[in-house]
Each structure stands twice: as C-alpha cells, then as structure tokens.
Amino acid sequence: MGLAENILMGDVKSAARLISLIEEGETEGYRELQHLLPHVGGAHVIGITGPAGSGKSTAAGKIAVRFASQRRKVGIIAIDPTSMRGRGALLGDRVRMKEAEKADGIFIRSMAHRGYPGGVARAATGATHVLEGLGKDLVIIESVGAGQTDTTLFLLADTVITLITPDYGDEIQLMKAGLFEIGDIIVINKSDRPGAEDAWQELSHRFGRTARQGHQGHQGWVVPVLLTRADTDTGMDALVDAVNAHWKFLKESGLWKKQKQEKARSFTELLLKEELWKRFLERRRTSSHFRQIMALVEDGRKDPYTAVDELLQDVQDIMDTVPPAEKKSRQKQTTGRGKGKGTGIGKDKGEGKGRGKGK
Ligand SMILES: Nc1nc2c(ncn2[C@@H]2O[C@H](COP(=O)(O)OP(=O)(O)OP(=O)(O)O)[C@@H](O)[C@H]2O)c(=O)[nH]1
Ligand SMILES: [Mg+2]
C-alpha cells in the first residue's frame, strides 16, 4: 500500500513520512499527495501569526485542547522561524503545547521554514492536506510574523489570528508588515502586562468596529479584538468562539469556497515565482553570460532593465532542461534517495549536474 492509502487509514507514521518527503521536495511525496487530494480540502485551517515570543504556541496549544473537547479532530503545524538555530525553537514550541500533545488525537508537526518568504514553510500547504488525510478537520498553523509580511499564512489559512502583546507599539514594523491587515481575529495576549487595556481600546477602535474592506472574501466580517492571557488559560474560550464564528461566517456567506480557490491559485503563483527565480539562479549565476551582463551593469555600461530582459532569454532554456517528473522518479528508484535537502519542486539529485556550466 502506498503512503496515501495508509494515511487515509489513519497511519500516523506514514503521515509523518509523507510530510518529510514534501519538505524535502521529493517527487514521490508530491505523487502521494496527489492521491490524497480527492479526499481532502474541507478542514478549517487556522493560522496564528505574530511576533516572536508573543505566546502563539501557548495559545495554539490551549485552543487545540478546547477544539478537541468539541470533538474536532485537530492537527497542529508549528513553523520554526530559525532553522539555523538548530532544534531549540522547535522544542520551544513543543514545550508550550505539552497539554495538546498529550491530548488524544492531536497531531503536532514542527517544520523549518527554510527561508521561504513570509515565514511559512513552503511545505505547510501539503502538510495540511496530509493531516486532513489523517482525518483532521481542524488544522492550526503557527507561523512567525517577525517583521515580515506574512501573506503566505494568509494564503494557507481560512482564518488568520494575529497575536501580539500589549507593547506592540514597539513593533511598529508590524503595522507596515500588514500583520494586522491579514488578521481575521486580533488577539492581545499577555494581558497581565502593563498597557494591555489601552492597547485593546486602541486596536478595537482601529480595527474592530468597522466591517473590513480590502481582501476579497472578508467583506462583512467585523474583526474581534480580544484580550487574553494564554499561559493561565484566560480568554481562550472567547478565542475559540471567535474562530468558530468566523468559520460559520465563511460557510454561511458562501465565501469559504471562493476564498479557498483564490488563495490556492495565489499560493501556486507565489510558488511558481519562487521556483523560477531559484532555478534560474541555480543554473545561471555562475555562467559566463550571467557574469558578463552583471559586470556591465556594475560598470554602469548596461542598464538593469536591459540586463534583466537579456537574462530572461535564458528562461526557455531552463525550462527545457527540467526533466519530467516521471523521469526523475525513475532515476530516484535506481539511485535511492539522496541526503540533500530539496529546494525545488520535484527536486532530483541528478538534476544539478549541469549546474553552473552555463551556455
Ligand atoms: N506573562 C505572560 N506570559 C505568557 C503569556 N502567554 C505565553 N506566555 C509565555 O511567553 C513565553 C513565550 O510563549 P510562546 O507560546 O512560546 O510564544 P511564541 O509566540 O510561540 O514564541 P515563538 O514560537 O518563539 O515565536 C513563554 O514563556 C510563555 O509561557 C501570557 O499571557 N502572559
Ligand atoms: Mg512558538
């Protein structure tokens, strides 16, 4: 039996394995994911974002336990902001979610974000489907907003919770980064800290009262601004109620499906952009053509616009050199799985052979 079939039968080990394959960019992983697709897509995906240390994991753990007690089948994906820092952050998230981890049926998976823009692991969308395949109907993705525009989380989640602390004023970057913009629910955690009440007043005034415009699919939803203290479980019922209310709103307004379709398309476009850029640089950065053009740009003898136009003439060539997925899988079966971490879609270990040679 394949991984997808095992997962559909509830095999947790196969789920963990498939998530790893997707993380590593293995073609085999995408093929199994494809088998899962007819069976998934209906779960409520909740994203939690906010500055480092604001209490996201603590809150995620607390609400997960509550959802589980409401007979929801819960999965959690915790995205490690600093894969470079080793396993510290991963373990940190797990410690905060201890209760949830012990609760029956809650599946927790940590992932490294690997430099993907927006702080969300590129594999998170695939991992969400894997958890759905396991039967989860509610998936919480914890991501780090740390000063970046976390639009990718927005694209993965049906409901986004922006979780900050009373001293968010210091995090003025957040405003620019649009963390508030993407939040369907705004939570001021650490209500035991000074200034909590003032922060609540200010944000309620700014975001809570008016029905939001802007993002399609958000029309008519009034953003709740909540005050919580996650470490002592205070305000968590209200947060669960707000999440459920948003889900009901999406379902009843019919926005859910439309929003999901639009987000899936946008995520794919984002991935395509990333992938083109990465493949282009991998194959061309060291080529003599690339270096010649860049040297002219550096000397001010070629303008950047013309340079980009000329460099893009190589793109067709890059497309031609990417072997079809089937061919890659067959290669893999004969060579075994390499150790290298995948950066690409359908990454293949033999694919980089021509890398750096240029034209
Ligand atoms: N005083 C206080 N501490 C809290 C509260 N909620 C969480 N904490 C503590 O804040 C610290 C960070 O909490 P986490 O849940 O790990 O925060 P996080 O946002 O997940 O952190 P990263 O994943 O590292 O970005 C922990 O020591 C928590 O116990 C709260 O409401 N008040
Ligand atoms: Mg965390």
CA distance 125 to 40: 12
**9-62: pLDDT as tens digits:** 999 999 999 999 988 888 999 999 999 999 999 999 999 988 888 999 999 999
**113-158: pLDDT as tens digits:** 665 554 466 788 999 999 999 999 999 999 876 544 466 788 889 9
Q: Say yes or no: CB of residue 134 within 6 Å of ligand 1.
A: no
Q: Which of 96, 110, 168, 191 has most ligand 1 atoms within 8 Å of its beta carbon, as the pocket-test mutant?
A: 96
Whether residue 83 has pLDDT greater than 50: no
Q: Give residue 167 CA to ligand 2 midpoint distance, Å.
A: 18
Q: Give residue 190 CA to ligand 1 midpoint distance, Å.
A: 8
Lowest-confidence region among 66-75, 282-291, 326-335 = 326-335
Q: Say yes or no: CB of residue 194 within 6 Å of ligand 1.
A: no
Write out the residues surrounding ion ligand 2, Cβ under 5 A. 56-57, 93
* Higher-scoring residue by pLDDT: 55, 325: 55
Q: Say yes or no: CB of residue 49 within 6 Å of ligand 1.
A: no
Task: State the average pLDDT over residues 319-334.
Answer: 50
Q: Give residue 246 CA to ligand 1 midpoint distance, Å.
A: 24
Q: Give residue 89 CA to ligand 2 midpoint distance, Å.
A: 7
pLDDT bucket at 330, cuts 50 / 70 / 90: very low
Is the whole-model pTM more than 0.75?
Answer: yes
pLDDT bucket at 315, cuts 50 / 70 / 90: confident
Task: State the average pLDDT over residues 198-209.
Answer: 79
Please give the pLDDT value at position 178.
73
pLDDT bucket at 98, cuts 50 / 70 / 90: confident
Q: Give residue 12 CA to ligand 1 midpoint distance, Å.
A: 28
Q: Give residue 96 CA to ligand 2 midpoint distance, Å.
A: 7
Percent of the chain with pLDDT strictly greater than 90:
46
* Nearest CA residue ID for atom 2, ligand 1: 190
Q: Do the beta carbons of residue 321 and residue 359 sit within 8 Å? A: no
Q: Say yes or no: CB of residue 56 within 6 Å of ligand 1.
A: yes
In sequence order, what are the residues at sequence separation of 6 or more whose Cβ sits closer than 8 angstroms to the Cβ of residue 322?
Answer: 279, 351
Whether residue 338 has pLDDT greater than 70: no
Buried b / exposed e over 161-197, threshold 16 CB at 10 Å, is bbbbbbebeebeebeebbbbbbbbbbbbbbbeeebbe
Nearest residue to 51 (alpha-carbon basis) of 144, 179, 186, 189 = 144
Residue carrying structure tokens 């080529």: 287
